[in-house]
A = this chain, B = another copy of it.
Amino acid sequence: MPSDAAVTDLLAALAYGQLSAFDRLADDARMAPTLASRAEMSAMAALEFEQYRRVAQRLTDRGAVPEDAMAPFVAALESYHALTTPSTWLEGVVKAYVGEGMAGDFYREVAAFVDDDTAALIGEVVADDVRASFAVREVEAAVAATPAVAGRLALWARRLVGEAISQTQHVLADRESLMLLLVEGTGGLAGVPALITRITDRHAERMRALGLD
């Protein structure tokens, strides 16, 4: 079983990821072409905040101060967002689905290495069904109207993946506890490639769902 510190770090990284996703989704919602789609992305932001609140509460229950626990992860998450600030509504939609989806997959994978209670909480707060149907509908409509959009959004998604991987590596390099959690969980590095393959496969599924593969 991983150390208490590792589980706290994992929850703290997840919590700050959700707080920053709330913030960015709320911001990106402003680019919506209609009030209805703006309200939908705002709803996703509000949901991220609810999920943040649950994870922060769990940190508190574990005796941690959420703000202190999250502090080590602020720089990496903010870098990710700064390097992937959407310049159009559709970029925001793809980021909400692809970026948050991949983060969710990562946490779901790592959840297999921690205690059942923590794993259950993680599983509940990273569900992305709402984002999926929303993103698919928005992107399908846009590509139907302007087919050239697909190529640009596919490139954009590749950039999101690249930055997400890069920032995850920074976090793992800085936080020994999380690196150990991952290495021990996968059985001494041997399982890491399979984990990456699963995350990559799920990313590919999302791209197919969006019609951007």
Contacts and interface: CB of A to CB of B under 8 A. Distances in A.
A134 B60 CA distance: 20
A67 B22 CA distance: 22
B53 A43 contact: yes
A39 B26 contact: no
B56 A39 contact: yes
Nearest to A56: B39
A49 interface: yes
Interface stretch (A30-38, A122-130, A142-150): A30-38
Contacts of A23: 26, 29-30, 42
Interface in A47-104: 49-50, 52-53, 56, 66-67, 70-71, 74
A23 B66 CA distance: 24
Contacts of A43: 49, 53
Interface string A5-28: 000000000000001001100110
A134 to B, nearest CB: 15
B45 A26 contact: yes
Dominant SS among interface residues on chain A = helix
A70 B139 CA distance: 25
Contact of A50 (B36, B46, B52, B67): B46
Contacts of A39: 19, 52, 56, 66-67
Interface string A195-208: 00000000000000
9 contacts: A19-B38, A22-B45, A23-B29, A35-B66, A35-B70, A35-B74, A36-B67, A42-B52, A46-B46
Given A22-B26, A39-B66, 18 more contacts: A19-B35, A19-B39, A22-B42, A22-B45, A22-B46, A23-B26, A23-B42, A26-B27, A26-B45, A34-B67, A35-B66, A35-B70, A36-B66, A42-B49, A42-B52, A46-B46, A46-B50, A46-B53
